[in-house]
C-alpha cells in the first residue's frame, strides 16, 4: 500500500467515515477566521496573488545586485537574499575560516559598504526583502536599515523578513555561533527593537524548510517548527513583552514537496495548531497574533542532477501544493540547482512557473479549493494528531531548547532520513531519472560557476575599508557593544552604531563571541 511522506497509509478511497470528530464549524470555519484552517485571509488570492520571491545571491554584492535587477525586471515581487557561508557564520571574507568559501553559496557581505552595493538602484521602500540569515541576523538587518537611512528612506517604510531562527540551526543546519541562551536573548532584543524602529518588518521566519531538507517528515516539520515557535514566544514574553506586541510580526517558512495532497494538508494542520496554541497557551487576542503566516520554498532536496529538465515538472507540482495550501509568498527552485548555481535562464523559468499558476490557471480564483475533500481533510486530521504527539514529547523533555540539547529532534530527523534513503535504494520510492527511467548517458550541461578571484577582490575591499575608516571610533563602538552584551540592555542600538562606524560583520560577531562564547553541540542521547 502506498504511504505518505510521514509514513501513513494512503487509502484507495476516502469517505466521511475517514474523518475523525468531524464538525465543519469547528474544524474548518471560514477563510480568515479562527482556527484559520482554510487560510488566514478571507479572500486569499482572489484579491491579489502571493508574493513571488526568488532566492538569489552569489559572488560579490555587485553580481548579486545585477541578478536582483534582472528578477525585478522579469516580474518578481519580492527579493530573497542568500548569503555566503562565512557571512552566515559571522566571519569576514579575510578570516582564515572563510578561505575557499567566499561567495560560493551566496553573496559575501562584510560591511555596510557591501550592503550599499547589493541594493544599489533598488527602491527599498517599494520592494519587500527577505534575508536568509540566522545567527548574525540582527547584524545584517541593521546593515539593511543603515543603507535605507543613507538613501533617505525612513525605517517605518521598510518591509521584509529576516529569518533569525537559530534554534533550527542547532537541529538541522549548523550555522550557529552562540549558545542557545544568548542566541534567544538576541532574538528577543530584535523583536523589541523592531517593534519601535521597523514596525512593518517580520522579525523572524521560523523555519521547517531546513529540517525537511535534512529528512524530516511533514509531521516532524510541523511539530519541530511550531515547538521552536513556542520557545521564541516564551522567550519574548519572559523578557517582559506582551504577546500581542510582537506576535503579529512572527512568520514561518516551510517546504513544498511533490506529494501534493499531504503538503496541502500539512499547511492547513499547521495553521490550526498554531492558532490554538497562541490563543489557549499565550492568551493572544489580536487576530493577527493567531495567524500562521508563511513563506514556502519548493523542495531542493528532491531535485536531481540526472535529467535536470525533469525538475521543471517537480517544481511546478511543488509550487501548486504551496498555493493550494495557502502560502503567503513562494520561491520556486531553478531546475539546474542540483548541479550548480542557477543560470539566468533557469531562474527566469522558475519565476515563470509561479506566473503561470497565478495568471493562467483557475486555482487563485477560489479560496481553499480542497476544503471538504475527504482525502485532504482526513490527512489534515492525521497530520495534526501526529504533530501534536511529537510536540507533547518535546514538552515532556522541557521544551524545544531542552530537547535540542538532548539531541531529540536531530535524532528523529535522522531516523526518518534513513528510512527514505532505504526506500529509495530498494526502489520502493521512485525517483524519476535516478532509480527508474534513467538514461544511459546524460546530456552535457554547462553550469554557472563562481570566479575564484572573487575572494581576492573581497579581501582587497576589506583592507581598503579598514585603512580608510576611523579605527578608534570602531574600537570604541565595539567596546560599547561588549558592555551591552554583558548586561540586560538591548544590544541592537550599540550594534547599529558599530556598523555605522564601518565595523565589519566579523568584528561585531567576534565582540559578542568574546562575551557569550560559542556553541559546541553535545552528542545525541537518543
Peptide bond into 35 cis (omega under 30): yes
Q: What is the pLDDT of residues 129-180, one digit of tens each?
A: 999 999 999 999 999 999 999 999 999 999 999 999 999 999 999 999 999 9
For residue 167, which of 178, 155, 152, 157 has the smallest C-alpha distance? 178
For residue 170, which of 162, 179, 160, 159 has the smallest C-alpha distance? 179
Percent of the chain with pLDDT over 90: 84
Give CA–CA dist 312/304, Å, rounded: 11
List phi, psi (to 5°) of 229. Answer: -60, -40
Question: Over the range 223-254, which residues count as b (16 or more CB within 10 Å of their CB) and which as e?
Answer: bbbbbbbbbbbbbbbebebebbbbbbbbbbbb
- Yes or no: say if 126 and 100 are a contact pair by the CB < 8 Å rule: no
The DSSP H or E segment spanning 55 is strand 51-56
Beta strands in 277-425 (DSSP E): 294-298, 329-331
Average pLDDT of every residue of the chain: 93
pLDDT for res 523: 61
- How does DSSP classify residue 437? S
| The architecture CATH gives domain 33-425 | Alpha-Beta Barrel (3.20)
Please give the model's pTM, rounded to 2 decimal places. 0.93
Task: For the beta carbon of residue 445, count every other beta carbon within 10 angstroms.
Answer: 12
Q: What is the pLDDT of residues 405-424, one digit of tens each?
A: 999 999 999 999 999 999 99
Q: What is the CA radius of gyration of the chain?
A: 23
Residue bearing cell 538541522: 172
Which SS3 state, helix, strand or coil, does residue 525 take? Answer: coil
In the sheet that 78-82 helps form, which strands lie side by side, from edge to edge?
Answer: 201-202, 160-162, 128-132, 78-82, 51-56, 329-331, 294-298, 250-256, 204-207
Give CA–CA dist 291/387, Å, rounded: 18
Task: For the beta carbon of residue 408, count every other beta carbon within 10 angstroms.
Answer: 22
Give CA–CA dist 474/483, Å, rounded: 14
Q: How far are the Cα atoms of 10, 415, 441 from residue 310, in angstroms, in the given order?
A: 25, 28, 15
How do the domains of the chain map onto residue ranges? Answer: 33-425
Q: What is the pLDDT of residues 58-104, one digit of tens each?
A: 889 999 999 999 989 988 888 999 999 999 999 999 999 999 999 99
For residue 107, which of 129, 126, 128 has the smallest C-alpha distance? 129
pLDDT for res 87: 98
Lowest mean pLDDT, pick from 395-399, 439-443, 454-458: 439-443
Q: What is the pLDDT of residues 317-342, one digit of tens each?
A: 999 999 999 999 999 999 999 998 88
Give CA–CA dist 148/116, Å, rounded: 9
Give CA–CA dist 387/395, Å, rounded: 12
Helical packing angle, 492-500 and 505-516, nearest 10°: 140
pLDDT for res 160: 95
Helical packing angle, 505-516 and 180-197, nearest 10°: 130
Cell of 324: 493550494
Cell of 374: 475527504
pLDDT for res 388: 98
Q: What is the average per-residue pLDDT within 443-454?
A: 78
Q: What is the pLDDT of residues 266-319, one digit of tens each?
A: 999 999 999 999 999 999 999 999 999 999 999 999 999 999 999 999 999 999
Percent of the chain with pLDDT over 70: 96
Contacts of 256 (CB under 8 A, 6+ apart): 263, 296, 297, 298, 299, 318, 319, 321, 322, 325, 327, 330
Beta strands in 200-262 (DSSP E): 201-202, 204-207, 250-256
Q: What is the average per-residue pLDDT within 257-262?
A: 97
Cell of 262: 499531504
Cell of 444: 552535457
Give CA–CA dist 387/486, Å, rounded: 38
Cell of 192: 523589541
Cell of 450: 563562481
Q: Is 468 exposed, middle or buried (0-12, 13-18, 19+ CB in 10 A)?
A: exposed
Give CA–CA dist 322/440, Å, rounded: 34
Q: How confident is the model at residue 22 (pLDDT cuts 50, 70, 90)?
A: low
Residue bearing cell 521547517: 208
pLDDT for res 449: 74
pLDDT for res 56: 82
Determine if residue 399 is left, alpha or beta; phi over 0 gives left, psi from -120 to 50 gives alpha, anything else beta. left
Helical packing angle, 374-396 and 260-280, nearest 10°: 50
Give CA–CA dist 21/8, Å, rounded: 19
More confident residue, 226 or 22: 226
pLDDT for res 305: 94
List phi, psi (to 5°) of 494. Answer: -65, -30
Give CA–CA dist 492/479, Å, rounded: 14
DSSP-assigned states of every residue in 70-126: HHHHHT-SEEEEEBPHHHHTT--TTSGGGTTTTTSSSB---SHHHHHHHTTT--TTT
For the chain, the residue count is 526
Give CA–CA dist 385/239, Å, rounded: 31
Residue bearing cell 546524460: 442
pLDDT for res 28: 76
Q: What is the average per-residue pLDDT within 349-354?
A: 96
Amino acid at each position: 500500500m502506498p504511504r505518505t511522506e510521514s509514513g501513513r497509509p494512503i487509502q484507495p478511497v476516502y469517505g466521511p467515515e475517514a474523518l475523525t470528530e468531524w464538525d465543519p464549524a469547528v474544524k474548518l470555519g471560514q477563510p480568515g477566521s479562527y482556527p484559520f484552517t482554510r487560510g488566514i485571509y478571507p479572500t486569499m488570492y482572489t484579491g491579489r496573488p502571493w508574493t513571488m520571491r526568488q532566492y538569489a545571491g552569489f559572488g560579490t554584492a555587485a553580481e548579486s545586485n545585477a541578478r536582483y535587477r534582472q528578477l525585478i525586471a522579469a516580474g518578481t515581487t519580492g527579493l530573497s537574499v542568500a548569503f555566503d557561508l562565512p557571512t552566515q557564520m559571522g566571519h569576514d571574507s579575510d578570516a582564515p575560516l572563510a578561505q575557499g568559501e567566499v561567495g560560493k553559496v551566496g553573496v559575501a557581505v562584510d560591511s555596510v559598504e557591501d550592503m550599499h552595493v547589493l541594493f544599489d538602484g533598488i527602491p527599498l521602500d517599494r520592494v519587500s526583502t527577505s534575508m536568509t540569515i540566522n545567527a548574525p541576523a540582527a547584524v545584517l538587518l541593521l546593515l539593511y536599515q543603515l543603507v535605507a537611512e543613507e538613501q533617505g528612506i525612513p525605517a517605518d517604510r521598510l518591509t521584509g523578513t529576516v529569518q533569525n531562527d537559530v534554534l533550527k540551526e542547532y537541529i538541522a543546519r549548523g550555522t550557529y555561533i552562540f549558545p542557545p541562551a544568548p542566541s534567544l536573548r538576541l532574538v528577543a532584543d530584535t523583536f523589541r527593537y523592531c517593534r519601535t524602529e521597523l514596525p512593518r518588518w517580520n522579525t523572524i521566519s521560523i523555519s521547517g524548510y531546513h529540517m525537511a531538507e535534512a529528512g524530516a517528515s511533514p509531521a516532524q516539520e510541523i511539530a519541530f517548527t511550531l515547538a521552536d515557535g513556542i520557545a521564541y514566544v516564551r522567550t519574548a514574553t519572559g523578557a517582559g513583552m506582551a504577546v500581542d506586541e510582537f506576535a503579529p510580526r512572527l512568520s514561518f517558512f516551510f517546504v513544498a514537496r511533490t506529494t501534493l495532497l499531504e503538503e496541502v494538508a500539512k499547511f492547513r494542520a499547521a495553521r490550526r495548531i498554531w492558532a490554538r496554541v497562541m490563543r489557549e497557551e499565550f492568551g493572544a487576542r489580536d487576530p493577527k497574533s493567531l495567524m500562521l503566516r508563511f513563506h514556502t520554498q519548493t523542495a531542493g532536496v528532491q531535485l536531481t542532477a540526472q535529467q535536470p529538465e525533469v525538475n521543471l515538472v517537480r517544481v511546478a507540482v511543488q509550487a501548486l501544493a504551496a498555493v493550494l495550501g495557502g502560502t503567503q509568498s513562494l520561491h520556486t527552485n531553478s531546475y539546474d540547482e542540483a548541479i550548480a548555481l542557477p543560470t539566468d535562464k533557469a531562474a527566469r523559468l522558475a519565476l515563470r512557473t509561479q506566473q503561470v499558476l497565478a495568471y493562467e490557471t483557475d486555482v487563485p480564483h477560489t479560496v481553499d479549493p480542497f476544503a471538504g475533500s475527504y482525502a485532504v481533510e482526513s490527512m489534515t486530521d492525521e497530520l495534526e494528531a501526529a504533530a501534536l504527539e511529537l510536540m507533547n514529547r518535546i514538552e515532556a523533555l522541557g521544551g524545544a531548547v531542552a530537547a535540542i540539547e538532548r539531541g531529540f529532534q536531530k535524532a528523529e530527523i535522522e531516523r526518518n532520513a534513513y528510512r527514505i534513503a532505504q526506500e529509495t535504494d530498494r526502489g520502493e520510492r521512485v525517483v524519476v531519472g535516478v532509480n527508474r527511467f534513467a538514461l544511459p548517458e546524460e546530456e552535457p550541461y554547462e553550469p554557472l560557476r563562481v570566479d575564484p578571484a572573487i575572494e581576492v577582490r573581497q579581501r582587497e575591499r576589506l583592507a581598503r575599508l579598514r585603512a580608510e575608516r576611523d579605527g578608534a571610533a570602531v574600537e570604541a563602538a565595539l567596546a560599547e557593544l561588549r558592555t551591552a552584551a554583558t548586561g540586560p540592555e538591548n544590544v541592537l542600538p550599540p550594534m547599529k552604531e558599530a556598523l555605522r562606524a564601518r565595523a565589519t560583520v566579523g568584528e561585531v560577531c567576534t565582540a559578542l563571541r568574546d562575551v557569550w562564547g560559542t556553541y559546541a553541540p553535545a552528542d545525541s542521547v537518543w
